[in-house]
Amino acid sequence: MASADTNLGGSEESTRTSGSMTRSGASTRRPSGPVDSWESDLTSIQHALTFVLTLKEEFVCPVCRGVVLNPQQNSCGHIFCYRCLQTLLESSSPSNPVCPVEGAVITPAEVFQDNCCKREISCLEVYCTNYPECTSVVTLQHLKDHLSSCQYELLQCTNLGCRAVLQRRHLQDHLTNGCSHRMEPRPLCLSQDPMQSSCPQTDVDCPNGCSQKVPRHKLSEHSQACPDVFIDCSYRRFGCPVQDKRARVKLHEDAAVSHHMLLVLRSNTHLEQQVELLQEEALLRKQELQTDSLHLAGLQKKVRLLLQQTSNHEHVFSAAQRTVSRQEGVLSTTQLDIQQTTRGLGSGLEDLEQLRKSLDAVIKEISAAEAFKKHLETLEEDLRRQSSLLEVHSAQLSHNHQHLQELAATSYDGKLIWKIVDFRKRREAEAKGQSPCLTSSPFHTGRCGYKMAAKVYLNGDGEGRGSHLSLYVVLMPGDFDALLPWPFKQNVSLSVLDISGAGNHRILSFRPDPTSKSFQRPAADSFSNVASGFSCFIPLNKLENPQNALYVDDDTLFVKVKVDMTGLETL
């Protein structure tokens, strides 16, 4: 299964030379002073960062193998973290500090802070460290600001004596209702309680850094309107990338109305074009289906006529056979009479002539019967050909009907909602060895994007057989594979949806392994690549009897597949 580990290090080898010294604007300064505050805050999570794009090798510290923080360039052109370089210089011989990359002697007087590299690194985009629960993407220098307000960040309870660690979104409820160490306020909190730090009526500073003081019990309500809370632009789903404090986002939304309207118009135009294309294709398929239906009706009519003709010919042939049988009896009798006449000679000559004429007539009837038999065989051969042609047209009609259904169910936005009916019946059949897995209709990441499908083993597969539901996604040969980047690198999330409305969906995500054959370009003559996903997606007992969710209702299960479209260029 693919993983979502930090993608430090790239395939390109890049070494900074004296040219980068010129770019930094300082060639002989000593190492700079203390690290900037945002870089100092990231030191503890330096190796847990996941970058949106593959981190260039020149931005990887040769000592700690993490992203370079407060970059310092040594005399041979390599970039180090400030703290890593200081440690290297302190641990080396004073007269002989050596670069760990090339072994060249480092001259401390020539070490300087590379501000150009620092600016580039500070603008790199990273995923929130709480990914995949939090899907936010921010620049490296704003990551700590995001974590200070991320609802999925782990925080320790502030009540004295409590060691509980919870996500920020659950902390307020825990402090108010769930913590066993919380201080219960007296009515109106009028007493001079020395434990003012837990009084809900006490005015406290806003945790988001704004200048307001708010009663402790209204902190959650205040955060919904706090101007210093980081939020996304309300037009983000139309393509606006702005993420900032609420007050600045409000100013941005007021100032960029025209730009936002253009984004909405562009999105609507794209959707209308897709709908028109689908309607035209559906109309064309409908016309083809009507034409095939008319052709099939004509063929059925011809077959019925041929069957009637065959039935009539069979009656005639049976009558001819009976006539031939009777004539054969007459012929036998005639032969006996001829023998008797031959013995008698004389007066039997006239009777012999009569018998010869009768024999000639019988021979003509037999010849006619044989010709009729050959004609009947020809008609039977025509009937077989017409039946074969009818089967071909029926198969083509069925294929067109199936293709029309697939077109109606196909999506082009990288998402699939799959409705699986008769869940228990299908699972029992799979447990008996029938229909080992189910495959969804194909879906695409765009009109010219990757073609994919979902696979599910209702009774489990591999490690999860008999105990878990197994869920996978598979790449299929598409019409535009030659234009797409390979291997496939987009994050994929698989979900079993909660039908109760509580939103407790079962979601697991993975990031493709570029070295796996499952994510290479599918061969044109194959049906699909090897599927990739989770053999133990969800235990069967939790699937059918969950505590706070409803996954199977009316014997129906809903599965969702979502492809992260970030960084995927539309052709």
Query: DSSP labels for 518-532?
Result: GGSPPPTTSS----E
Residue 402: exposure state from Cβ atoms within 10 A (0-12, 13-18, ≥19): exposed
**How many angstroms separate the Cα of 459 from the Cα of each of 1, 439, 509, 534, 537?**
19, 14, 21, 13, 11
Cβ neighbours of residue 465 closer than 8 Å, sequence gap 6 or more: 457, 459
Report the first-to-last Cα separation within the chain, whole angstroms.
29
pLDDT at 452: 95
Positive or negative torsion for Cα 190, 195, 199, 205 = positive
Q: Are 103 and 128 in contact (CB under 8 A)?
A: no
Structure tokens at 65: 């193998």
Q: Rounded to 5 degrees, what are φ and ψ at 33? A: -80, -150
Positive or negative torsion for Cα 272, 276, 277, 282 = positive
Inform me whether the pLDDT recorded for 196 exceeds 70.
Answer: no
Structure tokens at 236: 């983000």
Grade residue 457 by pLDDT with cuts at 50, 70 and 90: very high
Grade residue 476 by pLDDT with cuts at 50, 70 and 90: very high
pLDDT at 560: 96
pLDDT at 194: 45
Q: Are 528 and 522 in contact (CB under 8 A)?
A: yes
Of 505, 434, 444, 494, which is closest to residue 470 (Cα–Cα)?
Answer: 494
- Find the range with the poorest average confidence among 17-21, 64-68, 170-174, 403-407: 17-21
Rounded Cα gap, residues 163 and 213, in angstroms: 27
Q: Are 416 and 558 in contact (CB under 8 A)?
A: no
pLDDT at 504: 93
Task: Kindly state the average pLDDT of the residues 404-424.
Answer: 85
Structure tokens at 204: 């406290």
What b/e readout covers 36-49, taking b as 16+ CB neighbours within 10 angstroms? bebbebbeeebeeb
pLDDT at 416: 95
The per-residue pLDDT of the chain, averaged, comes to: 82
pLDDT at 21: 33
Grade residue 405 by pLDDT with cuts at 50, 70 and 90: low
Q: Which helix (H) or strand (E) holds 50?
A: strand 50-51
Grade residue 471 by pLDDT with cuts at 50, 70 and 90: very high
pLDDT at 36: 59
Percent of the chain surpassing pLDDT 70: 87
Q: What is the CA radius of gyration of the chain?
A: 42
Task: Kindly state the average pLDDT of the residues 403-414.
Answer: 76
Inform me whether the pLDDT recorded for 10 exceeds 50.
Answer: no
Task: Kindly state the average pLDDT of the residues 389-396.
Answer: 86
Rounded Cα gap, residues 107 and 89, in angstroms: 10
Cβ neighbours of residue 331 closer than 8 Å, sequence gap 6 or more: 359, 362
Percent of the chain surpassing pLDDT 90: 28
Inform me whether the pLDDT recorded for 294 exceeds 80.
Answer: yes
Q: Give the residues across from 444 on adjacent strands.
A: 451
Task: Kindly state the average pLDDT of the residues 322-337.
Answer: 82
pLDDT at 94: 62
pLDDT at 178: 80
Grade residue 341 by pLDDT with cuts at 50, 70 and 90: low
Grade residue 187 by pLDDT with cuts at 50, 70 and 90: low
Task: Kindly state the average pLDDT of the residues 143-156.
Answer: 88
Angle formed by the axes of helices 257-344 and 246-255, nearest 10°: 80
Grade residue 1 by pLDDT with cuts at 50, 70 and 90: very low
pLDDT at 17: 31
pLDDT at 12: 32
Considering only residues 388 and 97, tell me which one the structure prediction assigns the higher pLDDT: 388
DSSP letters of 92-116?
S-TT--B-TTT-PBP-GGG-EE-HH
Q: Are 411 and 443 in contact (CB under 8 A)?
A: yes
How many alpha carbons lie under 13 Å from residue 384 in its C-beta half-sphere? 6
Grade residue 4 by pLDDT with cuts at 50, 70 and 90: very low
pLDDT at 533: 95
Inform me whether the pLDDT recorded for 169 exceeds 80.
Answer: yes
3-state DSSP assignment of residue 366: helix
Rounded Cα gap, residues 115 and 112, in angstroms: 9
Structure tokens at 200: 């809900």
3-state DSSP assignment of residue 492: strand
Q: Are 476 and 523 in contact (CB under 8 A)?
A: no
Of 404, 396, 471, which is closest to residue 440 (Cα–Cα)?
Answer: 471
Of 506, 502, 495, which is closest to residue 560 (Cα–Cα)?
Answer: 495
Residue the block writes with tokens 């004296």: 18
Task: Kindly state the average pLDDT of the residues 322-350.
Answer: 75
**What tens digit of pLDDT does each residue of 495-525 get?**
999 999 899 999 999 999 999 999 999 998 8
